[in-house]
A and B are shown apart, each in its own frame.
Chain A
Amino acid sequence: DTGVSQDPRHKITKRGQNVTFRCDPISEHNRLYWYRQTLGQGPEFLTYFQNEAQLEKSRLLSDRFSAERPKGSFSTLEIQRTEQGDSAMYLCASSLDDSLLPDTQYFGPGTRLTVL
């Protein structure tokens, strides 16, 4: 078990460019979550997957954001036409949901996005 990994760790881009982040969850975890954290704030939920199905998207996730989890393994988060307001830490978490109680979410190290 190598934990949740995210790539890249840091991304600097110019306004208007597209960026894509990758998250590799703990193997066999069936749930995968994306959160966004801005400076001085707690993480905010963006979206989550149960296996390959995207089951919920926050209203924070504008049309410029898209997430996928093909084959229910790794996930990608793409931001099109980036804006300076997109600058944040993007966190990925995974959990194994096989009971009535919520399992612990294990977080990756995050991808810090800076939009110039």
Chain B
Amino acid sequence: AQSVTQLGSHVSVSEGALVLLRCNYSSSVPPYLFWYVQYPNQGLQLLLKYTTGATLVKGINGFEAEFKKSETSFHLTKPSAHMSDAAEYFCAVSDYNQGGKLIFGQGTELSVKP
């Protein structure tokens, strides 16, 4: 069975600082990995995804993530945090052998201090 673990339910950074949100996955097949962002009382918006090919994936709003098979990780980074980045972030793996349903981690709430 596939699973996702997000290390740290809450991360706080200062504006302009590096953002690093950690995600580790477990999968018996090559994984398809996603990061979504959720603002309060809203649905989820895709930040980026990894399917095949280049292991460094660039997404929207300056975020990027690197797929590391040896570490079973897909950490999300952004060089310089903005106040508008404050939100809940979810890492997910796609169970593509069974209809593509997404299996999510528990989420990491990012706070950005001025």
Contacts and interface: CB of A to CB of B under 8 A. Distances in A.
Q: How large is the interface on B (under 10, 10 to 19, 20 to 34, 35 or more residues)?
A: 20 to 34
Contact of B104 (A42, A101, A106): A42
B114 interface: no
Interface of B: 4, 9, 32, 34, 36, 41-46, 49, 51-52, 90, 92, 94, 96, 98-107
A67 to B, nearest CB: 14
Given A91-B44, A107-B45, A43 B51 contact: no
B51 A4 contact: no
A17 to B, nearest CB: 23
Contacts of B42: 109-110
A41 B109 CA distance: 11
A84 to B, nearest CB: 21
A44 B43 contact: no
A48 interface: yes
Interface residues of A, number: 29
Interface string A77-114: 00000000000000101010100011111111110100
Contacts of B94: 102
A45 interface: yes
A43 B106 CA distance: 8
A80 to B, nearest CB: 24
Q: Which of A43, A101, A103 has the most CB of B within 10 A?
A: A43
17 contacts: A31-B100, A33-B102, A42-B105, A43-B90, A43-B104, A48-B99, A91-B44, A95-B100, A101-B52, A102-B100, A103-B100, A104-B46, A105-B100, A105-B102, A107-B45, A110-B43, A112-B41
